[in-house]
């Protein structure tokens, strides 16, 4: 904001802009709560997608959770995406970061088909025995991103960027019902 105002001819420094924004109740768009913390007792699976070329539907699916800021807190959004078609197979919104809403999305996606490989980050929802067990029961290989490696799951990260900048940040959702 300081650079923008200086370009517009206003002589201000960073501290003044911060103070004025604080007084007006304005905040920049910044990362929210950490959504990818592994549980210390859960199994971490290796990353299976290095140098893999996805050349058909249902070869690789991926998932991730992102946060959606609301006036009084956050909601969490999970999506399951097919790597080849970039089609969102299932999505779900929740007010908690539990495994249940991720399992609901997974069950909805599995009704449409079954992937060979399922990739996720190391968040506790995806490392849980319930989530990985459901995949293993279906005969799916489990793959997990390396710690701190957002580019391992780039397609879902790109989806989040599009959803947030083209939908969420443009609307002022009051609550979860309105968001959904």
pLDDT on residue 43: 86
CA atoms within a 13 Å half-sphere pointing along the CA-CB vector of 169 = 11
pLDDT on residue 22: 86
Q: What is the mean pLDDT of each run of 10 residues along the chain (180 residues)?
A: 90 92 78 60 86 93 92 92 96 92 97 96 91 96 80 88 93 88
pLDDT on residue 34: 58
Per DSSP bridges, beta strands 73-82 and 60-70 are antiparallel
Burial of 123: CB neighbours in 10 Å, binned 0-12, 13-18, 19+? buried
Using CA atoms, how far residue 122 sits from 64, 78, 80, 146, in Å, is 10, 14, 15, 8
Using CA atoms, how far residue 170 sits from 15, 98, 163, 165, in Å, is 27, 27, 10, 7
Q: Which domains does the chain have, with CATH numbers?
A: 1-30 (no CATH), 60-179 (3.30.420.10)
């Amino acid at each position: 904001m300081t650079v923008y105002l200086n370009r517009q001819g206003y002589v201000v420094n960073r501290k003044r802009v911060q103070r004025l924004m604080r007084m007006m109740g304005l905040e920049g768009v910044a990362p929210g709560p950490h959504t990818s913390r592994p549980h210390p007792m859960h199994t971490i699976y290796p990353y299976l997608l290095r140098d893999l070329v996805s050349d058909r539907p249902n070869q690789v699916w991926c998932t991730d959770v992102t946060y959606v800021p609301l006036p009084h807190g956050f909601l969490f959004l999970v999506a399951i995406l097919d790597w080849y078609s970039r089609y969102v197979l299932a999505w779900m919104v929740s007010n908690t970061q539990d495994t249940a809403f991720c399992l609901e999305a997974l069950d909805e996606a599995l009704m449409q088909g079954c992937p060979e490989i399922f990739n996720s980050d190391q968040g506790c929802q995806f490392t849980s025995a319930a989530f990985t067990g459901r995949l293993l029961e279906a005969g799916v290989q489990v793959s997990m991103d390396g710690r701190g490696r957002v580019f391992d799951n780039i397609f879902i990260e790109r989806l989040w960027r599009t959803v947030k900048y083209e939908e969420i940040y443009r609307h002022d959702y009051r609550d979860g019902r309105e968001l959904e």
